[in-house]
Amino acid sequence: MSDEVKGLIDVALKGDKKAIARLITLVENDEETAREVVRRIYPLTGKAYVVGITGPPGSGKSTLLDKLVKLAREEGHKVGVIAVDPTSPFTGGALLGDRLRMQRHSTDPGVFIRSMATRGSLGGLAKATNDAIKVLDASGYDLIFVETVGVGQIEVDIVKTADTVVFVTVPGLGDEVQAIKAGLMEVADIFAINKADREGVEMVYLELKMTLEFERDKWKELGWEPPIVETIAFTLRGVRPLWEAIKRHREHMESSGRLRERRAFRAREEVKTIIASSIARKVEERLASGEAGELIDEVVEGRLDPYSASQIVMEKLKEDLWR
Amino acid sequence: MVDRSKVRVVIAKPGLDGHDRGAKVVARALKEAGYEVIYTGIRQTPEQIVETVIQEDAAVLGISILSGAHMVLIPKILKLLEEKGLKLGEDVAVFAGGIIPPDDAEELKKMGVFEVFGPGTPLKTVIEAVDGAVKNLKGFRA
Number of C-beta neighbours around residue A1 at 10 A: 13
Spell out which residues of chain B touch residue A117, defining contact as CB-CB under 8 Å. 5, 36
Q: Which residues pair with A169 in a beta bridge?
A: A193
Please answer whether residues B70 and B108 qualify as being in contact, where contact means their C-beta atoms are separated by less than 8 angstroms: yes
A18-46 pLDDT per residue, tens: 999 999 999 999 888 999 999 999 999 99
Angstrom distance (rounded) from CA A36 to CA A21: 16
Class of domain A45-256 as given by CATH: alpha beta
Burial class (CB in 10 A: 0-12, 13-18, 19+), A79: buried
Which of B37, B44, B54 is the closest to A94 by Cβ? B37
Spell out which residues of chain B touch residue A104, defining contact as CB-CB under 8 Å. 48
- With a pLDDT cut of 90, the percent of chain B lying above it is 91
Angstrom distance (rounded) from CA A269 to CA A16: 31
Residue A124 has pLDDT above 90, yes or no: no
Q: Do A91 and B39 touch (CB under 8 A)?
A: no
Interface test with B, best of A20, A25, A103 (most B CBs within 10 A): A103
Q: Do B33 and A112 touch (CB under 8 A)?
A: no
Which of A151-165, A179-193, A226-240 shows the lowest mean pLDDT across its residues? A179-193
So what's the pLDDT on residue B130? 97
Which of the four pLDDT bands, split at 50, 70 and 90, describes residue A157? confident
So what's the pLDDT on residue A1? 62
- With a pLDDT cut of 90, the percent of chain A lying above it is 67
Q: Do A100 and B4 touch (CB under 8 A)?
A: no
Residue A221 has pLDDT above 80, yes or no: yes
Please answer whether residues B46 and B77 qualify as being in contact, where contact means their C-beta atoms are separated by less than 8 angstroms: yes
Cα-Cα end-to-end distance for chain A: 21
So what's the pLDDT on residue A225? 93
CATH code 3.40.50.300 for B4-137: no
So what's the pLDDT on residue B108? 98
Which of the four pLDDT bands, split at 50, 70 and 90, describes residue A181? low
Q: How far is A104 from chain B (nearest CA, A)?
A: 8
Nearest CA in chain A to B86: A18
3-state secondary structure of B6: helix
Burial A47-67 (b: 16+ CB within 10 A, else e): ebbbbbbbbbeebbbbbbbbb
Please answer whether residues B134 and B140 qualify as being in contact, where contact means their C-beta atoms are separated by less than 8 angstroms: yes
Residue A70 has pLDDT above 70, yes or no: yes
Across the beta sheet with A143-147, the strand order is A111-117, A79-85, A143-147, A49-54, A164-169, A190-193, A228-230
Domain ranges of chain B: 4-137
Average pLDDT over residues B19-36: 95
So what's the pLDDT on residue A180? 54
Q: How far is B106 from chain A (nearest CA, A)?
A: 30
- Give CA separation, A53 vs A114, A199, A208, A301, B138, in Å: 15, 23, 17, 50, 36
Average pLDDT over residues A5-12: 94
Which of A18, A22, A93 is the closest to B4 by Cβ? A93
So what's the pLDDT on residue A176? 56
Residue A155 has pLDDT above 90, yes or no: no
* Higher-confidence position of A291 and B56: B56
Give the helix ranges, DSSP H, for A223-289: 239-256, 258-287
Which of the four pLDDT bands, split at 50, 70 and 90, describes residue A290? confident
Spell out which residues of chain B touch residue A120, defining contact as CB-CB under 8 Å. none
Q: What is the mean pLDDT of chain A?
A: 91
Does B131 lie at the interface with A, CB-CB under 8 angstroms? no
Residue B137 has pLDDT above 80, yes or no: yes
Residue A179 has pLDDT above 70, yes or no: no
Interface test with A, best of B2, B4, B5 (most A CBs within 10 A): B5
Spell out which residues of chain B touch residue A119, defining contact as CB-CB under 8 Å. 5
Average pLDDT over residues A308-312: 93
Of the CA atoms within 13 Å of residue A45, those in its CB half-sphere come to 18
Spell out which residues of chain B touch residue A97, defining contact as CB-CB under 8 Å. 38-39
Q: What is the mean pLDDT of chain B?
A: 95
- List the Cα angle B15/B17/B19 in 5-degree steps: 125
So what's the pLDDT on residue A247? 98
Spell out which residues of chain B touch residue A25, defining contact as CB-CB under 8 Å. 8, 57
Domain ranges of chain A: 1-44, 45-256, 271-322
Residue A182 has pLDDT above 70, yes or no: no
Q: Do B28 and A95 touch (CB under 8 A)?
A: yes
